[in-house]
């Protein structure tokens, strides 16, 4: 199975700031990497697919980068509504594993 | 409107069975890859199962042999039959559509783009 390791597990940032979340795969997954946002009590929402493609309707302050084993999700111009948990997920091979999540707090 | 609505969750004793349903609207379940994902209380997301448009299925090792994913094309509904339930199966269960694009003979997956609201399964005596 492909293991997905996210870091950090939690972080805090200010409105208007910028954060980067890292996701590392235990083996190469090309660009089969997706990012999701989840708010408490809600279903996850797809933000980025194929490592760097922005899902329709997602603000352009979200961006993804990477290929192979190392990937990043960057959120710029942070807004209060960006407070959420973020998960990476590989869709290269089953089981389609998720990272353990990163909880983002907006100060 | 593209939508998924889950139902069927509840409190069940260890060893029991439960069937979750996921009714789709706005798109055809049988033409898409469909997945189940779960989230234990206070924990992260865990992929559970997928059914491909051709009917092939796959499962996480933790549920293989106990859970069965299926679909009813006439009802445009996805199911998850869960048998021999354990306390560690306690979670919110989400169904999701997998976005795909076919290029040549390869179907590329582009993440789970439509999610249901989730249904809660509690396994406890």
B10-42 pLDDT, tens per residue?
999 999 999 999 999 999 999 999 999 999 999
Q: Give the distance from residue B125's alpha carbon to the nearest chain A alpha carbon, in angstroms.
A: 25
CB nearest to B118's CB, from A43, A49, A85: A43
Residue B35: the pLDDT is 98
CA count, 13 A, side-chain hemisphere, B16: 15
Per-residue confidence at B125, pLDDT binned at 50, 70, 90? very high
Q: Give the distance from residue B84's alpha carbon to the nearest chain A alpha carbon, in angstroms.
A: 21
Per-residue confidence at B101, pLDDT binned at 50, 70, 90? confident
Phi, psi of A67 (to 5 degrees): -165, 160
**CA dist., res. B66 & res. B103, Å (int):** 34
**CA dist., res. B84 & res. B14, Å (int):** 7
Residue B104: the pLDDT is 87
Residue B99: the pLDDT is 92
Average of per-residue pLDDT across B88-101: 96
Residues in chain B: 125
pLDDT at residue B108 tops 90? no
- Strand-pairing partners, residue B66, are none
Instruction: Specify whether the CB–CB gap between B44 and A98 falls below 8 A.
Output: yes
CB nearest to B110's CB, from A1, A50, A99: A50
The residue of chain A nearest to residue B120, with distances taken between CA atoms, is A41
pLDDT at residue B107 tops 90? no
The answer to whether A96 faces chain B, any CB pair under 8 Å, is yes
pLDDT tens digits, residue range B64-84?
Answer: 999 999 999 999 999 999 999
| Proportion of chain A above pLDDT 90, given as a percent | 100
Q: Give the distance from residue A4's alpha carbon to the nearest chain B alpha carbon, in angstroms.
A: 12
Residue B37: the pLDDT is 98
Interface test with A, best of B45, B96, B115 (most A CBs within 10 A): B45
Residue B84: the pLDDT is 98
CA count, 13 A, side-chain hemisphere, B116: 27
Q: What's the mean per-residue pLDDT of chain B?
A: 96
| Proportion of chain A above pLDDT 70, given as a percent | 100
pLDDT tens digits, residue range A11-52?
Answer: 999 999 999 999 999 999 999 999 999 999 999 999 999 999
**CA dist., res. B59 & res. B37, Å (int):** 11
**Residues B16-25 as b or e (16 or more Cβ within 10 Å = b):** eebebbbbbe
DSSP annotation string for A8-28: -SEEEE-TT--EEEEEEESS-
Residue A66: the pLDDT is 98
| Proportion of chain B above pLDDT 90, given as a percent | 91
Residue A3: the pLDDT is 97
Which of chain B's residues have a Cβ under 8 Å away from the Cβ of A55?
111, 113
Per-residue confidence at B102, pLDDT binned at 50, 70, 90? confident
**CA dist., res. B96 & res. B34, Å (int):** 6
Residue B109: the pLDDT is 85
């Amino acid at each position: 199975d492909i293991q997905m390791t996210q870091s950090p597990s939690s972080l805090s940032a200010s409105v208007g700031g910028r954060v980067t979340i890292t996701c590392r795969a235990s083996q190469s997954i090309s660009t089969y990497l997706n990012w999701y946002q989840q708010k408490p009590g809600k279903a996850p929402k797809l933000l980025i697919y194929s490592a760097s493609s922005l899902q329709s309707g997602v603000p352009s302050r979200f961006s993804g980068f990477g290929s192979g084993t190392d990937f990043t999700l960057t959120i710029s111009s942070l807004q209060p509504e960006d407070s959420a948990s973020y998960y990476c997920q590989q869709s290269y091979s089953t089981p389609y594993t998720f990272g353990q999540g990163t909880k983002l707090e907006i100060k | 409107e593209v939508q998924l609505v889950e139902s069927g969750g509840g409190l069940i004793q260890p060893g029991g069975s439960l069937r979750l349903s996921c009714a789709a609207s706005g798109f055809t379940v049988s033409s898409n890859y469909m997945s189940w994902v779960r989230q234990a209380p206070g924990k992260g997301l865990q992929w559970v199962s997928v059914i491909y448009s051709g009917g092939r299925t796959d499962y996480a090792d933790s549920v293989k042999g106990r859970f069965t994913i299926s679909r009813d094309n006439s009802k445009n509904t996805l199911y998850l039959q869960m048998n021999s339930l354990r306390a560690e199966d306690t979670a919110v269960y989400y169904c999701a559509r997998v976005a795909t694009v076919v290029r040549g003979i390869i179907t590329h997956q582009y993440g789970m783009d439509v999610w249901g609201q989730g249904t809660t399964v509690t396994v406890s005596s």
